[in-house]
Structure 1
Amino acid sequence: MHGPPLVAWSLVTLSTVAAVACLLRREAARDEALMGAGMAVMAVPMSVLDPRPWGTPLLPVVFAVVFALAGVRALLLVRRPGHHLHHCVCSAAMVYMAVAMGGAASAHGGHAGHMAHSGAGLPLLTGALLLYFAGYVLRAGTTLVAAPAHAHGAASGPLISAGPSVAGPARVPLRHAPEVAVACRVSMALGMFAMLLTL
């Protein structure tokens, strides 16, 4: 990533936490865990990576291939229940950022200082993706704030608990709580928005 180091490391932390939280959830969250891990690596400042001459063109290609495959997989599953269409958009955004950053690196000989001050990518496409992720954060964040305190019509007891209940209605373990899933998606959409701003 080619922005202020504080912003970059904040994105690395946010994306890493989201990826770990997704890994602790159900198997269906592995796509989101991959997205969070990819965002964490992409957000690491270039000054820290100090890539070899072959690393500058290779990293964007690896990112583009991995997330293009993830996007195709999500597209094939789009008719099934889940957030596969959102995953398609996220994967497309990752491919776009990888290609844009790789193109900027090639145009300036891979020098990170030039990349920090050069516009990369297509302004209209970048703007459309920024609008999408901003809208997603607002919509999903609203549902997160408005989430009920009780689940499944249970008469009493919290929606989230640290472990299985011995008696009474079944509780949802913390890592499987719907709010955790929404919070992960919101945090990753915020991270994507911030990364797109650096293009």
Structure 2
Amino acid sequence: MHGPAMSGWLLMALCALTGASCLLRTRNETGEGLRAARAEALMGFGMAAMAVPAAVVPPPAWGWAVYAVLFGAASLRALWFSRHRGHHRHHLVGSAAMVYMALTMAPGGAAAQGGPGGHAGHGTAAAAGGIPLLTGLLLAYYAVYVVRSGARLIPVAAASGGGDGGGPAKGGWGARPELALACRLAMGMAMFAMLLAL
């Protein structure tokens, strides 16, 4: 993202840690949970790579095409699995949003047309953040998603701290349901921040 370097590094660290915790969750998951944890790990690491401050580490010109292809394939995978479970629809929206951001930030994309260095905000309002209506819809989606995820996290955390003294669940810390919710909440907030900086 093209914001201040410190916020870019913090966003990158948050996404990388979230991706790592989702990757660790794959050890305790099977079936549908395993597919979701893998998709969330890919999203976390992809978001971390895209959040590296461009002023400090300029991405290669072909990097945006790699992101678009990678998350385009993830979108197709999420579309295939969304026939069975609802959470894959969220993965579909997230992967499609990553494709949109990659295309917008690519040289020659909407953000690159905004001014020198491809930084958003240097040109017209239409060029600053891609397609304003689509960016706004994605921002609204992620705002609602973050609020709903946060609300769902509170009862799970309170219920898990109950009868067993709050110790780790069977299968280790990676099997705790609130970890998956916390990962999704962190990635939703990070996606909202990335879209806002677009």
TM-score calculated relative to the size of structure 1:
0.83
Residues 144 and 47 (structure 1), Cα distance of their counterparts in 2 relative to 1, 3 Å cut: same
* Alignment partners' CA distance in 1, 2:157 and 2:56: 43
Q: Is the 8 A contact 2:9 2:52 kept in 1?
A: yes
1:173 Cα deviation after fit: 2.2
Are positions 1:135 and 2:122 aligned together? no
What is the aligned partner in structure 2 of residue 157 from structure 1?
164
Identify the match of residue 111 of structure 1 among 113, 117, 130: 117
1:157 Cα deviation after fit: 1.0
* Alignment partners' CA distance in 1, 2:196 and 2:14: 16
1:70-149 map, 5 Å:
70-81=74-85, 83-102=87-106, 103-104=109-110, 106-107=112-113, 111-112=117-118, 114-115=119-120, 117-118=122-123, 119-147=128-156, 149=158
1:164-175 map, 5 Å:
171-175=170-174
Residues 148 and 59 (structure 1), Cα distance of their counterparts in 2 relative to 1, 3 Å cut: closer
Are positions 1:37 and 2:45 aligned together? yes
* Alignment partners' CA distance in 2, 1:90 and 1:171: 31
The AA in structure 1 aligned to 2:76 is V
Q: Is the 8 A contact 2:153 2:178 kept in 1?
A: yes
Residues 159 and 80 (structure 1), Cα distance of their counterparts in 2 relative to 1, 3 Å cut: farther
In structure 1, stretches of 5+ residues that fail to align are: 162-169
Residues 123 and 105 (structure 1), Cα distance of their counterparts in 2 relative to 1, 3 Å cut: closer
In structure 2, stretches of 5+ residues that fail to align are: 27-33
Give RMSD over aligned pairs.
2.2
1:158 Cα deviation after fit: 4.4
The AA in structure 2 aligned to 1:72 is L
1:50 Cα deviation after fit: 2.8
| Pair member with larger Rg | 1
What is the aligned partner in structure 1 of residue 31 from structure 2?
none
Aligned-residue sequence identity (percent) comes to 48
What is the aligned partner in structure 2 of residue 24 from structure 1?
24
Structure 1 runs, 4 residues or longer, greater than 6 Å off: none
* Alignment partners' CA distance in 1, 2:156 and 2:25: 19
1:116 Cα deviation after fit: 5.7
1:94 Cα deviation after fit: 0.2
